[in-house]
Structure 1
């Protein structure tokens, strides 16, 4: 079975690997300026929650920089016969928390160049994401156009942390650039803190486990905004991938959106279809972390209500603490071929289809 991991985090031991990719004033800021942590830390706005055990698996302990790839190869890529791994970085999405959009953009540019130079050549299974800082959509669009034609780049990636919902016309230069370069737009959980508002409307929560469970609120907001603001009418071929926010909430939110749109559609006359229809054609969800009810049939009924066979993309979230391996993905067996790989190939069209699949 062809397996595409749509969320594989490539790590570093120290953010100082970015120094060769920076110059001028921004390099000076990075090397000598104020940081959130010791030398080697990536600059970002502090978040109020701390993971009590650390974000990575305890069996992933790199010492040297090259250990990161060697461990990933042994414990994930080879062990589970992963055919394609979409690299999603890690700390660089935190650039969205910085008030200085110019510095945030410089950090993202440095990371993108480092990823292309260091990670993509290491393994033919690797495909890259352009990480952009959404604080300044015009700068983000420039970065998308700078690297968007690279043959091993398959998507544009931002964090969920944002200063406004992603359907807002403020962000439309990003989607225009994505459409121009033929790339999906992906948003990954994270980026809370700094200049980004809390995703929790009632105020910040207290504990990490509590916070982690309710973080999908930001994804709900972004999804509703993308649909309501007419992003998919303006760019009908654009695919949006929502990563690491769970999935069981999707049907209930779509039901509410459909009901309210039917009653109040005159507010958004540019929409031509039900919100649930835009979701099925334009939005994809990563499986990790997939909810785990006591009765798996309850989950499967929920997934069926969102057309999960066609809208889910397998994601491992390697090497994080809540990592999901291929063998423990609790989806209907008949869906496995699509969810593990074929759906991703429909989104990431630059990845060649294996001859056996192309012939079907």
Structure 2
């Protein structure tokens, strides 16, 4: 089993100071952290989660924030569920995408990547790392992908679903070019819908957290339409697009609409050689958490089967967050289980059949 959404973090962003470009160190050390504030700099979200963003039982017994203690993560997640691999996505680090200063954002991303490869990657053979980039600095993002993308522990490039423009836009083509060159997928994790980025929904910010959380899939819809319409699979072979924590039930309806409109309006995008849904089957991957649960469970699998969902879905738990999905309690069709829990991620990330020594 492979878990494609595991959040590792720190107790204080001060851990980045030794890795941060000296030209930007004061931004963090004197501009962000004084006064007891230890969190990563980012533009704050407009909603308050009424229960908090984490599972209460994931606080390490020795103290510290959830996701910061390797031994406790190993006990609660890696060993308990006998994972072959865990794809680490960091915690606050991906919020670099919300910052107005693109040079500072890229400097923070570089510092995080060096820190996670130095500290977390060596702890366990099962860990694979996501390279965080700042998409508001696409040339800087491309340079960072090339700088660390060849590391044997790097599985993918990571951005947020919140962005200034949809990810197929030519603004981001330098990032796609570098990912294609390094043979790495680009993953968009739910979030980053604040700061310099667009509103999380087409009508503006929601009032309540549950309302916003349910509708954050809108950004995923826009990104899928954009990467397909701009022909990213044709222009940049060797990469794929992973949507993390954006839901899955909406994907069939969006692809059906894209197919219908493409057939009527295909003169706008003459570079496309296939239907959008055919590209999506090969190019788009979806993590399962949070998995929608209709009253008739078969309804979800029937719809997903129409678009090749068995080849697109990859299991994720979202540990240690509040809406964690237990792989033993999450039901998949029997014939889908091996692909969703293991095979699809193993093929995407090129992971060996066994991880080797555990810890």
Same fold (TM over 0.5): yes
Structure 2 residue aligned with 1:239: 240
Q: TM-score, normalised by structure 2?
A: 0.95
Which whole-Å CA distance do the structure 2 matches of 1:39 and 1:32 have between them?
11
Structure 2 residue aligned with 1:195: 196
Structure 2 residue aligned with 1:75: 76
Structure 2 residue aligned with 1:353: 353
Q: Is contact 1:237-1:282 (8 Å) kept?
A: no
Structure 1 residue aligned with 2:322: 321
Matched, 1:47 2:48: no
Structure 2 residue aligned with 1:358: none
Which whole-Å CA distance do the structure 1 matches of 2:87 and 2:34 have between them?
28
Which whole-Å CA distance do the structure 2 matches of 1:354 and 1:339 have between them?
17
Q: TM-score, normalised by structure 1?
A: 0.95
Q: Is contact 2:184-2:238 (8 Å) kept?
A: no
Q: Secondary structure at the match of 2:286?
A: strand
Structure 2 residue aligned with 1:61: 59
Q: Is contact 2:8-2:68 (8 Å) kept?
A: no
Structure 2 residue aligned with 1:282: 283
Structure 2 residue aligned with 1:20: 18
Give the superposition deviation at 1:38.
4.2
Q: Which runs of 5+ in 1 are unaligned?
A: 356-360
Matched, 1:339 2:335: no
Structure 2 residue aligned with 1:156: 157
Give the superposition deviation at 1:122.
0.7
Give the superposition deviation at 1:260.
0.2
Give the superposition deviation at 1:353.
2.6
Going from structure 1 to structure 2, the CA distance change for 1:271 and 1:330 (only over 3 Å counts) comes to: same
Give the superposition deviation at 1:248.
0.4
Which whole-Å CA distance do the structure 2 matches of 1:343 and 1:11 have between them?
26
Deviations 1:116-137 (A, max 9, x none): 0100111110011100000010
**Greater mean deviation of Cα atoms: 168-177 or 66-75:** 66-75
Which whole-Å CA distance do the structure 2 matches of 1:201 and 1:10 have between them?
31
Give the superposition deviation at 1:69.
1.1
Q: Is contact 1:312-1:339 (8 Å) kept?
A: yes
- The equivalences for 1:89-128 within 5 A come to 89-128=90-129
Matched, 1:182 2:183: yes
Structure 2 residue aligned with 1:273: 274
Which whole-Å CA distance do the structure 2 matches of 1:92 and 1:340 have between them?
26
Q: Is contact 1:36-1:42 (8 Å) kept?
A: no
Give the superposition deviation at 1:294.
1.5
Give the superposition deviation at 1:37.
8.4
Which whole-Å CA distance do the structure 1 matches of 2:57 and 2:34 have between them?
26
Give the superposition deviation at 1:67.
5.5
Deviations 1:296-344 (A, max 9, x none): 1111212212212111001111110000111122210111111101111
Q: Which runs of 5+ in 2 are unaligned?
A: none
- Aligned alpha-carbon RMSD (Å): 1.5
